[in-house]
Amino acid sequence: MLYAGSCLCGGIGYQVDGEFKSTSHCHCTMCQKQHGAACGSYGNISVRQLEWRRGQELLLLHESTPGVFRGFCSTCGSSLTWANQVETPDRIAIALGTLDTPYEQKVTKHIFTESRVKW
């Protein structure tokens, strides 16, 4: 499987080669803030599966906790990536909402549900 994705303004484009190793809806308060939504939805892959097709220079990284970097587009603000570069430097998570190729499977797990929103 080959998945294509991009940010809201289209400046950043990427490609994922192969299937996601796992997927999750993350209900932690940091994902709520970053995504401006009830949760952040991610597909976890090996960094070797990810190829930036355009605009990688537009990607900014916010270190939300030590070693954890959240990537977003400096033009439009789209949340694109999550990575723990200390504990799992060979893994990266892609925000599923930025996929252009439809992802047709169910997300496998909900995490940090203790901070799940009531609305």
Shortest distance in whole angstroms from residue 18 CB to Zn ion = 23
Taking the complex as a whole, the smallest distance from the CB of residue 13 to Zn ion amounts, in Å, to: 10
Distance between alpha carbon 64 and the CA centroid of its chain, in Å?
A: 14
Kindly state the greatest CA–CA separation across the chain. 38
Q: Which is nearer to Zn ion, 16 or 80 (CB)?
A: 80
Residues that bind Zn ion (CB under 5 A): 7, 9, 11, 26, 28, 31, 73, 75-76
**Closest approach of Zn ion to the CB of residue 55, in Å:** 7
Q: Indicate the pairing of strand 13-17 with strand 2-6.
A: antiparallel
> Of 48 and 110, which has the nearer Cβ to Zn ion?
110
Question: Would you say 46 or 84 has its CB closer to Zn ion?
Answer: 84
Collapsing DSSP states into helix, strand and coil, what is residue 32?
helix
Q: Is the CB of 73 or the CB of 94 nearer to Zn ion? A: 73
Q: Answer for the pair 93, 42: CB distance below 8 angstroms, yes or no.
A: yes
Is 94 within 8 Å of 81 (Cβ atoms)? Answer: yes
Nearest to 27 by CA among 92, 119, 113, 118: 113
Min dist CB 24 to Zn ion, Å, is: 8
